[in-house]
Chains A and B, each alone.
Chain A
Amino acid sequence: GNSVTQMEGPVTLSEEAFLTINCTYTATGYPSLFWYVQYPGEGLQLLLKATKADDKGSNKGFEATYRKETTSFHLEKGSVQVSDSAVYFCALAYQKVTFGTGTKLQVIP
């Protein structure tokens, strides 16, 4: 079956640091890949997505590239802010959505 593996958190960074959250997947077919963000007490918000190999999704300074050869979709941001503190979920969609376990990011001033 399909699965998503994310790096475990929590990840604690200082403001303006570089962020990488690793995500790898296994899937049959050709899934779409997503990063969702969940702020405390709220539902999930789509952060970015990529629908085919080599696509790069980007939003709010975050980027992730759909790498079919390494089955990865790592999330990156060049300079994090305190407001980026949240839980980040990697997910793939192929008929159903399969989520990773989530990575909590804490950015300290």
Chain B
Amino acid sequence: GAVVSQHPSWVICKSGTSVKIECRSLDFQATTMFWYRQFPKQSLMLMATSNEGSKATYEQGVEKDKFLINHASLTLSTLTVTSAHPEDSSFYICSARGPGPTYNEQFFGPGTRLTVL
């Protein structure tokens, strides 16, 4: 149980285009999902907290207009990187807060590798 998927697993796009990454909780409802960014050989940086039916809460320094987050249902959150540039190339990982007794635990998706040319 508590499986989180991400799609796509990797994407290559041209500079200036927008890319959407999906995060789904497959076998549980996730009222809260999180988006992280990981640079090579570094730890995960929390970008934003996504709550179902409300606006995302962004961490300091993360551009809201560049990284659009939508959490339209209890099983799906999306991250859209708008007008992507090479410096946005990174590994993006989502997680979902666990159900019931695992509320204090997060379950991670496999990540999406974004390369902007």
Residues of A bordering B, CB below 8 Å: 31-32, 34, 36, 41-46, 49, 51, 89, 93-94, 96-97, 99-102, 104
Contact = CB atoms under 8 A, between A and B. Distances in A.
A93 B109 contact: no
Given A43-B93, A43-B111, A44-B93, A97 B106 contact: yes
Contacts of B108: 36, 43-46
A89 B49 contact: no
A52 B46 CA distance: 24
Contacts of B43: 89, 99-102
Q: For the complex, would chain A's binding face be called helix, strand, loop or mixed by DSSP majority?
A: strand
Given A43-B109, A43-B110, A94 B104 contact: yes
Contacts of B109: 43
Interface of B: 6, 34, 41-44, 46, 49, 93, 95, 104-111, 113
Q: For the complex, would chain B's binding face be called helix, strand, loop or mixed by DSSP majority?
A: strand
Given A43-B93, A43-B110, A43-B111, A96 B105 contact: no
Contacts of B6: 43
Given A34-B105, A42-B111, A97 B42 contact: no
Nearest to A93: B104
Contacts of B104: 31-32, 51, 93-94
30 contacts: A32-B104, A41-B113, A42-B110, A42-B111, A43-B93, A43-B108, A43-B109, A43-B110, A43-B111, A44-B44, A44-B95, A46-B105, A46-B107, A46-B108, A51-B104, A89-B43, A89-B44, A93-B104, A93-B105, A93-B106, A94-B104, A96-B34, A96-B46, A97-B46, A97-B95, A99-B43, A100-B43, A101-B43, A102-B43, A104-B41
